Structure 1
Amino acid sequence: MKFTLGFSPCPNDTFIFDALVNKKIDTGDFEFDVVLEDVQTLNQWAIDGKLDISKISYGVLPLIVQQYKILHSGGALGKGVGPLLISANPVDINAEGFNINDYTIAIPGEHTTAHLLFSLAFPGAKNKIFKIFHEIEGFLLNSTDQKTLGVIIHENRFTYQQKGLYKLIDLGDFWEKKTGYPIPLGGIAIKKNISPAILTKIDQLIQQSIEYAFSNYPYLPEYVTCHSQEMEENVMRQHIDLYVNNYSVDIGKDGKEAVNEFLHIYEHNNPVSSIDHNVFIQH
């Protein structure tokens, strides 16, 4: 039985899925046709219903709940893991006279958690452009416009200072202080039309894949390093340490509550939306 499976080449995803897709664990009759893409592309594909199983940003979840459920394993939630708003020059966002609409803000995808968290902190922001996440640092550094900001995610959290960029606000910290919940960054979406027994089995396999990876950690399998060739190994481990945790093994009660709060905020920001909050597969 074969399923299409999409996730990003980032170390946290390749670390999670290595044992599953490379048959380091017993997957039984299940086979996976794997596609590695950036999260913005995966989000759009989820809207289009392209893949059977896919890593997605929770920011796109309201748009795909008719087609997909979310697994308990494989996701990225946590505290201190959120996106950062940065600039090429020091900017005091708390200064009198600061107006977010004096700036153009580069955001890593429209239907992303980063976009929703930015909108939560700056609900009136209008001048937004959407780029692939790894292009944003370069966009800021190469821009001739001093009035340019960017929202960064993933490994860019660890590299922006080395490039002379400045943090203005931790958007994840803003979420945590406002809601008290861990930050729901991404989850694993799976087609609703797959039978419940198979949904459960795939969920268990991903959990086993993570447990296998952790049992050999801090060893980095080739599957992780070959897809992160421009990244130093210590940065790969920082990435894994930040984004792969107990919530990845099982999202748990507070993780589900965080996602539910996220959906409530989406509905508040999009009053025409009415979302089915029963988004997780049954255990």
Structure 2
Amino acid sequence: MSNQQSGPATAAGVREISIAHSPDSDDAFMFYGLATNKVRVPGYRFTHTLTDIETLNRRAQNEAFYDVSAISFHAYPYVQDNYTLMGCGGSVGEGYGPMVVSAKKLTPEDLGKIKVAVPGTLTTAYLSLKVFNPNIETEVVPFDQIIPAILAGKYEAGLIIHEGQLTYASSGLSKVIDLGVWWRETTGLVLPLGGNAIRRSLGAEEHKIISKALRDSIQHALDHREQALEYAMQFARDLDTSLANRFVSMYVNERTLDYGKDGREAIRKLLDLGYERGIIPIQPKVDFVD
């Protein structure tokens, strides 16, 4: 297992911290302050890598490569030896979330009889679908190809994440189930989707400094919404400004600054259910850096 060790980047002793997140408008909005140097931390430099979430999940699992990495909560048990969760920077669905859509009218019960295209087996969308019905047959398709694949008749249904949650109807598709709605009706909790993990080896002092930097970046974006949204628009695949604003509002809000007690409970509950139902083979041990 190879680790990228952070360390002094210059003779002046500036410490470089590698951050990786997905190229989505909500993540871009969240990291706007840090990425544009509007938020600075003396003695630290933050480098940003943008990669799709399933790749980040695998890289965190296989290499513990980045100091801070966005991950799906589903991936956490697989990386928990090397990473802990940050108390900020997460996205949760407040009565909404990933959804299964199809080109024809289907009921949630019908999903047990067909193959559903999914955006990756370490995504939280996949975990929540399997908690809903462990017997659903799935096949992995890149997240941005799922709607086109349904329209082309390759799959009867697909599990969509990201902006597809706002655009599927304009493609002529119908919603079969919104897993965020189902989760809230079942548990009374928000559906935790993705968070930021930080390498344990950095130590408590670094954890504190980096967590504050990220929280400050999120607050800066919320306080300077127009500028942050303009920056995020370059990552807002196929969304106009009003839809991008709506999407960012769904996943960057007060919960992103702090999950809250019930938000943390929701993370534990989802992962524990995944373990109890045999979807996750490793017992989750969830802890947070504040």
TM superposition score normalised by structure 2? 0.90
Note the alpha carbon deviations across 1:127-178, whole angstroms, 9 max, x for none.
2111221111011001256xx2101111111100000001011111111111
Q: What residue in structure 1 maps to residue 138 of structure 2?
A: 128
Displacement of 1:272 in angstroms is 8.0
Q: Secondary structure at the match of 2:108?
A: coil
Q: Distance in 2 between matches of 1:158 and 1:276?
A: 32
Q: 2:121 aligns with which of 110, 118, 123?
A: 110
Q: 1:86 aligns with which of 87, 98, 101?
A: 101
The aligned amino acid for 1:112 is T
CA 139–236 in structure 1, closer or farther in 2 if over 3 Å, else same = same
CA 220–52 in structure 1, closer or farther in 2 if over 3 Å, else same = closer
Asked if the contact 2:271/2:284 (under 8 Å) is kept, the reply is no
Asked if the contact 2:127/2:279 (under 8 Å) is kept, the reply is no
Q: What residue in structure 2 maps to residue 61 of structure 1?
A: 76
Q: Distance in 2 between matches of 1:229 and 1:216?
A: 22
Displacement of 1:52 in angstroms is 1.3
Q: Secondary structure at the match of 1:264?
A: helix
Q: What residue in structure 1 maps to residue 4 of structure 2?
A: none
Q: How many aligned positions are there? A: 275
Q: Distance in 2 between matches of 1:154 and 1:272?
A: 23
Note the alpha carbon deviations across 1:37-69, whole angstroms, 9 max, x for none.
111111111112121111111011111111100
The aligned amino acid for 1:60 is A
Q: Secondary structure at the match of 2:225?
A: coil
Q: Distance in 2 between matches of 1:134 and 1:224?
A: 18
Q: Secondary structure at the match of 1:28?
A: coil
Structure 2 alignment gaps of length 5 or more: 1-14
Q: Distance in 2 between matches of 1:278 and 1:123?
A: 23
The aligned amino acid for 1:67 is N
Asked if the contact 1:78/1:247 (under 8 Å) is kept, the reply is no
% identity of equivalent residues: 29
Displacement of 1:277 in angstroms is 2.4
Q: 1:251 aligns with which of 253, 259, 263?
A: 259
Q: Distance in 1 between matches of 2:247 and 2:205?
A: 33
Q: What residue in structure 2 maps to residue 138 of structure 1?
A: 148
Q: Distance in 1 between matches of 2:26 and 2:253?
A: 10
Q: What residue in structure 2 maps to residue 198 of structure 1?
A: 206
Asked if the contact 2:120/2:141 (under 8 Å) is kept, the reply is yes
> Does structure 1 residue 24 correspond to structure 2 residue 38?
yes
Displacement of 1:3 in angstroms is 1.6
> Does structure 1 residue 260 correspond to structure 2 residue 275?
no
Q: What residue in structure 2 maps to residue 178 of structure 1?
A: 186
Greater shift, 26-35 or 240-249, is seen at: 26-35
Asked if the contact 1:8/1:55 (under 8 Å) is kept, the reply is yes
CA 271–149 in structure 1, closer or farther in 2 if over 3 Å, else same = closer
Q: Distance in 2 between matches of 1:233 and 1:54?
A: 27
* CA RMSD in angstroms, aligned pairs only: 1.7
Q: What residue in structure 2 maps to residue 275 of structure 1?
A: 283
Note the alpha carbon deviations across 1:221-277, whole angstroms, 9 max, x for none.
543122236321112101111011111001121111111111211210228845352
The aligned amino acid for 1:108 is P
Note the alpha carbon deviations across 1:190-226, whole angstroms, 9 max, x for none.
1010010110111111111111111112444543122
